[in-house]
Amino acid sequence: MEVDRIEKQFDDCIAFLLRILSFKLNVGHFPHLADLVTRINYNYFYMSDSGNLLTVPSFEGAKLGRNLPS
């Protein structure tokens, strides 16, 4: 389905962006990007506190944390 493809592509792009930004922050370059990483990864939604990317897609991860009425 088209929506699933777009969701996967979005998750892949976010993971790539967070990898690049986190590397730059850990090396000491561009410390002003720390706020951007915090906003993208709010409540460690995409990346754990230790810096490991979470493999659960965003939609599935959101479903795990909530009990929505049917």
Contact 37, 25 (CB under 8 A): yes
pTM of the model: 0.59
pLDDT at 69: 41
pLDDT, greater one: 34 or 45: 34
Reported as a single tens digit per residue, the pLDDT across 8-37 is 999 889 888 888 888 888 888 787 888 888
Q: In the chain, where are the structural domains located?
A: 2-57
DSSP one-letter string for 5-54: HHHHHHHHHHHHHHHHHHHHHHHT--GGGHHHHHHHTGGGSSB-TTSPBP
Contact 47, 41 (CB under 8 A): yes
Q: Closest Cα to residue 12, out of 44, 40, 46, 39?
A: 46
